[in-house]
Structure 1
Amino acid sequence: MKKKKILCFCPTLPLFLSPAIQSVMSSGDALTAGKTGGVGSAFFHLHDNGTLDYQVQIAGLSSEVVGLTIELKPRRRSKRSVLYDLAPEFDRPSGRATGSWSRLEARHIHMLLQNELFINVATAHSQEGELRGQIRGLLYSGLEAPRHEIPIPLAGQFVAPPVLTSAGGHAWVSVDERCHLHYEIVVAGLSKADDLTVSAHLHGFAEIGELGESSTNHKRLLTGFYGSQAQGVLKDISVELLRHLDRGTAFIQVSTKVNTRGEIRGRVHVPNNCEFGTRGEVEVAEFDGLFVHDPEELKKDPHTCFFESQHHAHGSLWTPNYNNCFTCSCQKRTVICDPVICPVLTCSRTIQPEDKCCPVCLERKDPKNMKTPERLDEHPEGSEPSLCLT
């Protein structure tokens, strides 16, 4: 009896709707987990003919790269299954590898699309792998983040001072014609406890990593994480922050309850023309805001969230009535509330303001006449608390 051939016709999705195949390599996900503060970021594009284009960048490692491979999940830790060697394409000075894998077998394509492949980075100090990450697809988010470009790496080694962390991450960031910032962040290698209290901020300073008093006006909370990802749109960005994005003197910093001043960080350079001639756009955005906050209009919006007897617009942030030590956000009819992370204070005496979540240092100047501050003071070393918003 002859076997019948079954043909499967799979329609090709437009590029912007296709899943973004990517990987974040971290030391926490290595076969022998560690905390090096390094990161690897990979982005792939699968063509209709089975060719796989790849772009990989690596930064913050403890020693030089000696191996870069795509692998299967090992059955035993001591026995790795290497499918493809990317090391010949790796350029040490730039820390990048760019090329194509043209001989993918059908089963390997299936494994790729089923998130069953991994990318491993071996170094002179860690021959089996200092960094490792699962290759997986991200579904279309509806944002204008430039997924066709290699993302911005986020590493503990980029924090000031550097942090030896098990985590790593990357981010896509863009500014549209209305000067709205679109972002998408993926983090890997964190412990489960840290995953619950992760937050990201966008910073802009005269020099990257310089934490001074001027930082207060150029820091924006992006959003709390839902799992290992964060995404959204910022519409009311200051001209100063847009200028830092244009100059490449801005950075994204992800903080956790363990490292409240930054777990991983990456420099962001997004050329834009928003510094001049954007007043009309700002006025339009403010005019649109009148409708967004109108209770009757909010009820009609399918993405509105209803929480504590109030409607909240998609993308909005607020402090819930039930606990001022949480920050809530509305993400397409879903309310996500993250706990506020208070900074570690080094002063000898602190007070707890009644209307604030976090304690503050008690000033030594005439403590008897001291009034409850209206906002949190900056940390004595100059860095703002990561999540305590007022």
Structure 2
Amino acid sequence: MTQLLANMRLVVICVVLLHLSGAREEDLDDLSIQKKRRVVAKVRCKNVKNECPKLECTNAVILPGACCKTCVMSTPAVLLPKDEPPEDVTGRDFAVLLNGRTSLTPMTTPRVATGRLSLRRGTLHFSFLLEEGAPAPESIQFMSDTGDILEILEAQPTPYEATNNRLCGTWTRVPKEYKSLLREEKMWVALSPAEDSGEDVISGLVARYTGVDTEVFSSLLIPSPTANQTLSGGGTAIISVDRKTDSLHVSLVFNGVFGPSESHNTTLAVQLTPARALSPVVDTIVLSKIASDLNRVEYMTTLGNSSLRLLTRGHVSMKVWSQAAPELALEGLVTSRVTCNVFSTVLSLPEPENLEDAVSAYTAYSPPYGAGWALVTLSNEGDFEYEIFIKGMTVESLKLETQHRKGHRVVEDITSSFSGNWANGTYSRPTYRDLDALLRGKIEVVATSGDSGHVLKGMLNQVAVTEALRSPQPVLLSSPQIPMAAIVWIAVDSACVTHYDVMVGGPPPSGATEPFWNLTLREDDTEFDPRLDMNILSLENEVKGKELFAHSTELSRLSLSRLGSGVTYLELVLIQSEEDTSSLPPLTGLVNGVIVPPKCLLDSDVALPPPVIHPDDTPDRICIPNSDKVCIKQLDESQGAERSHKCKDADNRVFEDGSSWQSPANTCQMCMCTKGKIKCQDVMCLKLQCEGAVTPPGQCCPVCPSDHDIVRPDKMCIFDDVRYSVGAEWYPFLVPKGFDKCVTCRCQTSSRGEPSVTCARLSCPLLICDESMFEQKPGACCSTCKPPAPKPTVITGDSDVINNPPLSEDEYRANILDTGGCIYKENSSTFQHLARNGEEWHPSVASFGIYQCITCKCKDGNVTCNPKQCPVLTCQKMVQVENECCPRCQDSVDPSQFFPPSRKASSRGTKNKKKANQRSRYQRRNSG
């Protein structure tokens, strides 16, 4: 029946072409367009009524648009379209043009878009092509011819670069009444922009245009830059190819190219311009009547021998204009079909060609088996962008092949691009035969193993971009013991609904024609939060077939959190026949790369209900109500610390290990999660050096009254999700030690008048001891030098001293001081040094070390420090020798050992001036 309908359409086209060819012959002499010519083609027509099959039924009728009679079971044919007509009878492919003129209410916007829609199994797949530079709309609205909104869908981008400037999606479970509107061409579609974008809504009527079901190439026609009109025009071209003659069937849908005075018998010109300075081809068509909203034109043409090659690579542009108004021309590039469809397949052992070979195909090879998947997208230039993943076997060769009745042909050998289980690349010079084979599902991916002799194959099939295909790549389900494999596309939308599509490949077990299988989601959580139960969720039960599209489920926030954390497995279990009782291992794959919106996660701000104990719960477990039976095991403190890195508070909120937060029960407490345990500390306030300090409302610590903005809510600092008034000072709360008293933070007003937070650590003095002598005392902010070991007691020959035990540190100290000794400090150190009466030493300066030019002396309990006395020099030029305290005469020193002291002393900011300043300050301090 489908073939007869196609033949009938060919008869109608032939009649139209004969009429149009006569009209062009009269007008071609008046045209001044390059390479004017008539369409040259041979026309063959025949009556297909004589080829109608003989029917045995008595109630045969002719359906609308058909040439031959069809048997109807009980319902008359005239009532069939009003009920639920079969999709293969009424057509499943539609197109739409959207611009200001086609909208329900005419718009002055210059934007133009076009779309292709396909109805498959109650699901409407749509793809829209936007003009270059157009902003993406916020939503896609489907409406009735009265303007009532039937459905609003969110416009979401696809993860594939080849689908830029295109919008894709699906409308699942379209109601029966809406399907009727679509088939009766009474459904409109609108692209609605964001409110703040400054753009207008554009809409158009969805219709079943000629050639849309066999379309290979498309073009979006927009006004030329020179066009200047209030309601700008636009158009789209639907181009099919005759496989026998390589001629092009062009179906144009357009508006806005005619002048105000044109209404009847207007000549339209259509020009196809190849790249590389090739001559354009111009066809002219006479329109007897012009429509104000949309015009449709169909004609056949050819570009010659190079036409299909240039069309395939996106090197042909189209221009449409009226001879009476050439300034209103429309133009655009011809690309591959307006669609976001991707081409995907499962790579597995080849399936049997007939039922007799089914059993032998399943057992022809021995395990282990390899598996994989392949993904191909089409760019606007016609390139094949491929991504292939294979595991479980060593790949010796990897090719793209086409199937023909005469044999196979290698399209491209991509073995060199395969590395580490992956092959990524672009087949940049495809022919039209390659493109046609890809669109018709005739290109196969073939991977050959070098060691086991296994061959993995998969035919690339066109897959519409569903909600599940928003994920960048599928999940491979395989088992080394089974020659079958499966891929699952899975994604989570903004409403926290999980979508999944399934494709199964390979020879079914037990010689079955189609496999039966179950699909489950199994959680294996060893890191996320092992206190929570592991769920095994059944997604599908006893599915027959190799495809499952546009299915969805609602998972709990716990399961969504694990899904996004990569701790969830998909398992597909094959169901065998009743005769075969042997068990098969499941096809398993780890789910990775699924992006879950933050609001859908268990750790989001929306808390789960508090857990309560149910009668059916075991004593060591409590379950959360209204949350898909999420149960928590009651662990000991020791078990919780060992098994879990996360913490759970009394309100059933889960916190990451190392996180901190303000206690909801007491705002003057800070809590932290440390290795599965929650610790809380009261806020520690700084001691203020002011009088009349006040505590602002909602604050925990007082502030000085000089800070005038303490009560303004817009003058607040936010630090670790806690708000502080201007002037407030606090210790930061750091995990795992709690409040850090060595750091102070302050909320103050910046130069711009905005509140800002500054934190500073307590400055520590420089230490003169070696790093090996540093020690950090508990609770101290700065390191200190270890105290020096007590000096040994001088032992004399007196027998009484020898027989006495050694003095303690306190006794030794008292003995030194009682005999006129001294106590002194160096370099602002906290350590005290002892010196015997009469002992001399050189002091230590932090930036110099031991300073030899000053000598200190302990005399009767007093310390005096004096600089070295230098001799008086009578020479005219004096120099300062390095490491010496007193200057010398220049004549007595090697010139390489000195520098002029006067010039060094006058050099502001130099190192030696700093030394001189420090030296003088040290002398003044010790002399005082």
TM range (shorter): 0.5 to 0.7
Which residue of 1 is the match for residue 574 of structure 2?
Answer: 256
Q: State yes or no: 1:120 paired with 2:446.
A: yes
Tell me the CA shift for residue 132 of structure 1. Answer: 0.8
Tell me the CA shift for residue 46 of structure 1. Answer: 1.0
| Distance of 1:3 and 1:281 partners within structure 2 | 73
Which residue of 2 is the match for residue 39 of structure 1?
Answer: 371
What letter matches 1:276 in structure 2?
Answer: D
| TM-score, normalization by structure 1 | 0.58
Which residue of 2 is the match for residue 230 of structure 1?
Answer: 548
Q: 2:512 aligns with which of 189, 193, 199?
A: 193
Which residue of 2 is the match for residue 169 of structure 1?
Answer: 486
| Distance of 1:155 and 1:30 partners within structure 2 | 19
Instruction: Give the alignment's Cα RMSD to 1 decimal.
Output: 3.4
Q: 1:23 aligns with which of 334, 337, 345?
A: 345
Q: Secondary structure at the match of 2:575?
A: coil
Q: Secondary structure at the match of 2:572?
A: strand
Which residue of 2 is the match for residue 350 of structure 1?
Answer: none
Which residue of 2 is the match for residue 276 of structure 1?
Answer: 603
Q: State yes or no: 1:137 paired with 2:459.
A: no
| Distance of 1:260 and 1:178 partners within structure 2 | 39
> Residue 22 and residue 131 in structure 1: after superposition, are their counterparts in 2 closer, same or farther (change >3 A)?
same
Tell me the CA shift for residue 195 of structure 1. Answer: 3.2
Q: Secondary structure at the match of 1:50?
A: coil
Q: State yes or no: 1:87 paired with 2:412.
A: no
Tell me the CA shift for residue 146 of structure 1. Answer: 2.6
Structure 2, gaps ≥5 residues long: 1-37, 42-246, 252-333, 354-360, 577-581, 610-928
> Residue 88 and residue 11 in structure 1: after superposition, are their counterparts in 2 closer, same or farther (change >3 A)?
closer
| Distance of 1:75 and 1:207 partners within structure 2 | 54
| Distance of 1:193 and 1:123 partners within structure 2 | 26
Q: State yes or no: 1:204 paired with 2:523.
A: yes
| Distance of 2:39 and 2:554 partners within structure 1 | 66
| Distance of 1:165 and 1:278 partners within structure 2 | 44
Instruction: Give the conservation status (yes or no) of the 8 Å contact 1:251–1:268.
Output: yes
CA displacement, residues 297-356 of structure 1 (integer Å, 9 cap, x when unaligned): xxxxxxxxxxxxxxxxxxxxxxxxxxxxxxxxxxxxxxxxxxxxxxxxxxxxxxxxxxxx
| Distance of 1:43 and 1:187 partners within structure 2 | 15
Q: 1:267 aligns with which of 580, 590, 595?
A: 590
What letter matches 1:23 in structure 2?
Answer: T
Q: Secondary structure at the match of 2:468?
A: coil
Tell me the CA shift for residue 150 of structure 1. Answer: 2.3
| Distance of 1:73 and 1:207 partners within structure 2 | 47
Tell me the CA shift for residue 234 of structure 1. Answer: 4.2
> Residue 6 and residue 177 in structure 1: after superposition, are their counterparts in 2 closer, same or farther (change >3 A)?
closer
| TM-score, normalization by structure 2 | 0.26
Q: 2:437 aligns with which of 111, 114, 122?
A: 111
> Residue 224 and residue 168 in structure 1: after superposition, are their counterparts in 2 closer, same or farther (change >3 A)?
same
| Distance of 2:515 and 2:345 partners within structure 1 | 21
Tell me the CA shift for residue 13 of structure 1. Answer: 6.4
> Residue 197 and residue 29 in structure 1: after superposition, are their counterparts in 2 closer, same or farther (change >3 A)?
closer
Q: State yes or no: 1:3 paired with 2:32.
A: no
Tell me the CA shift for residue 236 of structure 1. Answer: 3.1
Q: 1:57 aligns with which of 370, 373, 389?
A: 389
1:276-315 mapped onto 2 (5 Å cutoff)? 276-277=603-604
> Residue 148 and residue 268 in structure 1: after superposition, are their counterparts in 2 closer, same or farther (change >3 A)?
closer
Tell me the CA shift for residue 276 of structure 1. Answer: 3.3
Which of the pair has more CA radius of gyration? Answer: 2
CA displacement, residues 75-102 of structure 1 (integer Å, 9 cap, x when unaligned): 69xx7532211111111x3x10100001
What letter matches 2:467 in structure 1?
Answer: E
| Distance of 1:271 and 1:197 partners within structure 2 | 30
Instruction: Give the conservation status (yes or no) of the 8 Å contact 2:417–2:425.
Output: yes
| Distance of 1:174 and 1:247 partners within structure 2 | 13
Instruction: Give the conservation status (yes or no) of the 8 Å contact 1:199–1:255.
Output: yes
Instruction: Give the conservation status (yes or no) of the 8 Å contact 1:200–1:223.
Output: yes
Moved more, 270-279 or 147-156: 270-279
CA displacement, residues 40-85 of structure 1 (integer Å, 9 cap, x when unaligned): 2111101232111000000122xx2110001123769xx7532211
| Distance of 1:202 and 1:88 partners within structure 2 | 36
Q: Work out which structure has the larger RCO, using CA pairs closer than 8 Å and 6 or more positions apart in sequence.
A: 1
Which residue of 1 is the match for residue 403 of structure 2?
Answer: 73
Q: Secondary structure at the match of 1:119?
A: strand
> Residue 184 and residue 22 in structure 1: after superposition, are their counterparts in 2 closer, same or farther (change >3 A)?
same
Tell me the CA shift for residue 194 of structure 1. Answer: 7.4
Tell me the CA shift for residue 107 of structure 1. Answer: 1.0
Instruction: Give the conservation status (yes or no) of the 8 Å contact 2:498–2:553.
Output: yes
| Distance of 1:238 and 1:219 partners within structure 2 | 11
> Residue 6 and residue 257 in structure 1: after superposition, are their counterparts in 2 closer, same or farther (change >3 A)?
closer
> Residue 69 and residue 44 in structure 1: after superposition, are their counterparts in 2 closer, same or farther (change >3 A)?
same
Q: State yes or no: 1:247 paired with 2:565.
A: yes
| Distance of 1:57 and 1:155 partners within structure 2 | 12
Tell me the CA shift for residue 219 of structure 1. Answer: 2.4
> Residue 194 and residue 202 in structure 1: after superposition, are their counterparts in 2 closer, same or farther (change >3 A)?
farther
Instruction: Give the conservation status (yes or no) of the 8 Å contact 2:539–2:553.
Output: no
| Distance of 2:476 and 2:449 partners within structure 1 | 18
Instruction: Give the conservation status (yes or no) of the 8 Å contact 2:518–2:575.
Output: no
| Distance of 1:75 and 1:194 partners within structure 2 | 23
> Residue 3 and residue 275 in structure 1: after superposition, are their counterparts in 2 closer, same or farther (change >3 A)?
same
CA displacement, residues 154-183 of structure 1 (integer Å, 9 cap, x when unaligned): 1113xxxxxx11111111111112211111
| Distance of 1:231 and 1:117 partners within structure 2 | 22
Which residue of 2 is the match for residue 335 of structure 1?
Answer: none
Which residue of 2 is the match for residue 97 of structure 1?
Answer: 423
| Distance of 1:72 and 1:30 partners within structure 2 | 18
Tell me the CA shift for residue 117 of structure 1. Answer: 1.3
Identity, % of aligned positions:
20
> Residue 30 and residue 197 in structure 1: after superposition, are their counterparts in 2 closer, same or farther (change >3 A)?
closer
> Residue 42 and residue 180 in structure 1: after superposition, are their counterparts in 2 closer, same or farther (change >3 A)?
same
Q: Secondary structure at the match of 2:248?
A: coil
Instruction: Give the conservation status (yes or no) of the 8 Å contact 1:152–1:170.
Output: yes
Instruction: Give the conservation status (yes or no) of the 8 Å contact 2:385–2:427.
Output: yes
Tell me the CA shift for residue 11 of structure 1. Answer: 8.3
| Distance of 1:262 and 1:241 partners within structure 2 | 24
What letter matches 1:248 in structure 2?
Answer: G
Q: State yes or no: 1:150 paired with 2:473.
A: yes
What letter matches 2:412 in structure 1?
Answer: Y
Tell me the CA shift for residue 226 of structure 1. Answer: 4.6
Instruction: Give the conservation status (yes or no) of the 8 Å contact 1:30–1:131.
Output: no
| Distance of 1:19 and 1:281 partners within structure 2 | 40
> Residue 178 and residue 276 in structure 1: after superposition, are their counterparts in 2 closer, same or farther (change >3 A)?
farther
